[in-house]
Amino acid sequence: MGKVVVVVGAQWGDEGKGKVVDLLTERAAAVARFQGGHNAGHTLVIGGEKTILSLIPSGVLRERVHCFIGNGVVVSLAKLLEEADMLAARGVPVFERLTVSPKCPLVLPSHAAIDRARESASGARKIGTTGRGIGPAYEDKAARRAVRVGDLLAPAHFESRLREQLDYHNFLLERYLRQQPVDFAATLAECLAQAERIRPLVGDVTRGLRDIRAAGGSVLMEGAQGTLLDVDHGTYPFVTSSNTVAGYAAVGTGLGARDIDEVLGIVKAYTTRVGAGPFPTELDDEAGRHLARVGQEFGAVTGRPRRTGWFDAVAMAESIANNGVTALCVTKLDVLDGLARVKICVRYGDDGAPVYEELPGWQASTVGERALAELPGAARAYLARLEEICGVPVTIVSTGPDRDQTIVSRHPFD
């Protein structure tokens, strides 16, 4: 039976999961996305060429790897086809490598309209969503009124379901949010045109994953966002609309919880956050500006600047427990190059302020290093201290954006 490894962001997202998933799929037969929507961007750099994906799993660039979008994902047909066409234009046979669950709820133009209108009306109380309709789509799923990918395969049925949903959405838009309604006929025509292209991709994700495992193939589960944005376990209400923790990999694909063998937590060597909400170790000084500048901390999907701060081991302890993390991958170690001192938050004081442990920085470059022994001594000491504080082994270290700029001391599929 093939092994199942779940890759999760263990901070507020943007930890570099896309690169890690792409790297690890050299040993996988399948990659499955299990939650979120096109509000999450995964950036891959291979041979200096950058690819940004938000819906299609990061493993799509690997030959002999099949990609799945599980039932836990909310799907924008327009975005899915945009990504597929971009990949196909570059010679990637994406339509041969991808299966989409018929149980995925659709993200419609009306969802995005509601999302943007709510954020605009909230003023200073806004959550900081991407405005792409992900939250409203999950609301409809929970309220059992969602239109799903499988509904597209029966046009008359789909038309009836879409009319019911848009009647409700337009009531909200016009009567409550004072916005223009979304045109039903235009939405129907757009969705039916997209359905003809999507139809060959629709399939039984759960059975596909089970068959691959039964044949001895390993599966990589890919999450979006990060643990601290989980709707249950994150910094509520400044969270995303889905469960981002590893346990949801089972729910979002249909595999059993006992099928999960390893959980790899991805963490930056420091911390970042996009949007509103608490951030105890946030920096507003030269060190913070260094992290933002050298780390090029801008959202892959939105382009929004990310807030930066020191590594928060207190939040990390919760994240490790929530996910059942078995190993850590530390990314962007090279961003700390050149700092005189580096800090780790080890506890919060009585006033809630972070209490730091300081370690020596390093002046030598770590960019592109591929062995721990080649790192500066202070960099190795920093990683060892993270490992000690977190109580989980650091088995992968990223030293640059490219696939090959990585140190792997233990592969999760070993």
For residues 132 and 194, what is the distance between their CA atoms, to the nearest angstrom? 18
**Active-site annotation holder among 14, 22, 151, 337:** 14
Radius of gyration of the CA atoms of the chain, in A: 21
Residues 56 and 67: beta-carbon distance below 8 Å: yes
Question: In angstroms, rounded to a whole number, what is the distance separating the alpha carbons of residues 55 and 269?
Answer: 26
- Which residue among the candidates 22, 38, 42, 259 is catalytic per the annotation? 42
The Cβ of residue 341 has, within 10 Å, a number of other Cβ atoms equal to 11
Q: Contact at 8 Å (CB) between 168 and 145?
A: yes
Q: Which residues contact 374 (CB under 8 A, 6 or more apart)?
A: none
Cα dihedral 214, 323, 73, 230 in deg (nearest 10): 170
411 catalytic? Reply is no
Q: Is 14 among the catalytic positions?
A: yes
219-222/327-331 β-pairing = unpaired
Q: Is residue 233 within 8 Å of residue 245, measured between CB atoms? A: yes
Rounded to the nearest 5 degrees, what angle is found at the Cα of 236, between the Cα atoms of 231 and 240? 40
Structure tokens at 159: 């038309």
- The conformational region for residue 324 under phi > 0 = left, psi -120 to 50 = alpha, else beta, is left
**Rounded to 5°, angle at Cα 274 from 82 and 395:** 85
Would you please indicate which residues are annotated as catalytic (active-site) residues?
14, 42
